[in-house]
Chain A
Amino acid sequence: GAVVSQHPSWVICKSGTSVKIECRSLDFQATTMFWYRQFPKQSLMLMATSNEGSKATYEQGVEKDKFLINHASLTLSTLTVTSAHPEDSSFYICSASRNGPSTDTQYFGPGTRLTVL
């Protein structure tokens, strides 16, 4: 089956530093990837849609300059949390569409737990 990986699985950083999270589709090409943020015991919040070769589409209320998304290839999207602060501590999950944005088949990564001290 289709596999989506995330790296790192967890990261601890100091306030003010930047953290990069990778999302990879291991055995399929993904023209579209989604980035979510999850707070404890709460539902996922869609942050942005990452499109290969073009700019990401951010949801309302998500700071584009703080959460930089790059989808440089058909198998890799990265989320960079810039100048991280403790309130950015959360669980970040990516997902990928297998055959393009028109498909509704969605594969989720295992998530990355970010803790900002």
Chain B
Amino acid sequence: DQQVKQNSPSLSVQEGRISILNCDYTNSMFDYFLWYKKYPAEGPTFLISISSIKDKNEDGRFTVFLNKSAKHLSLHIVPSQPGDSAVYFCAASANGDDKIIFGKGTRLHILP
């Protein structure tokens, strides 16, 4: 059973518009959430994270929103740029555990 789900395998967004990537989780023990970005032929790189005590964390063009009651988080990228085209992985970890569970990823295409 997938504990971290990214239901959209791909997403296309016009350059300059907002990209919204969604992630759902099932384990109520998760208290820390991360987003990773991955280019082809490279390993994932850390992008942004959020603790469950917050509902929003912002870093430049990237903002992560957490809705604990819905067990849902989203990554907003605005404005979207061509270099944002990549696969984005959502990940989560549970209280006191350093193991993180990854989703299967969403491929983001930024259109010119």
Task: Check if A and B associate.
Answer: yes
Query: Which A residues form the contact surface with B (CB < 8 A)?
Result: 1, 32, 34, 36, 38-41, 43-44, 46, 49, 91, 93, 95, 101-106, 108, 110-111, 113
- Provide the bound-state CA to CA distance between A113 and B97, in Å: 11
Do A103 and B40 touch across chains, with their CB atoms under 8 A apart? yes
Across the interface, which residues of A come within 8 angstroms of B99, CB to CB? Answer: 38, 91, 110-111, 113
Q: Give the chain A neighbours of B39 by CB distance below 8 A.
A: 104
Residues of A within 8 A of B36 (CB): 43-44
Across the interface, do A108 and B102 meet the contact criterion of CB distance under 8 Å? yes
Partner of A106, one of B93, B98, B105: B105
Q: Which residues of B come within 8 Å of A, CB atoms?
A: 32, 34, 36, 38-41, 43-46, 49, 86-87, 89, 93, 98-100, 102, 104-105, 107
Give bound CA distance, A104 to B49, whole Å: 22
**A-B residue pairs, 9 tightest by C-beta:** A43-B46, A40-B98, A34-B43, A46-B43, A101-B41, A104-B40, A104-B87, A108-B102, A91-B98
* Cβ-Cβ contact count across A and B, 8 Å cutoff: 57
Query: Which residues does chain A contribute within 8 Å of B86, judged by CB atoms?
Result: 104
B99: min CB distance to chain A, Å: 5
| Cα distance A91–B91 in the bound complex, in angstroms | 15
Q: How far is the CA of A110 from the CA of B30 in the complex (A)?
A: 16
- The docked-state distance in angstroms from the alpha carbon of A34 to that of B43 is 7
Minimum distance in angstroms from A32 CB to a CB of chain B? 8
A106 proximity list for chain B (CB < 8 A): 38, 43-44, 87, 89, 105
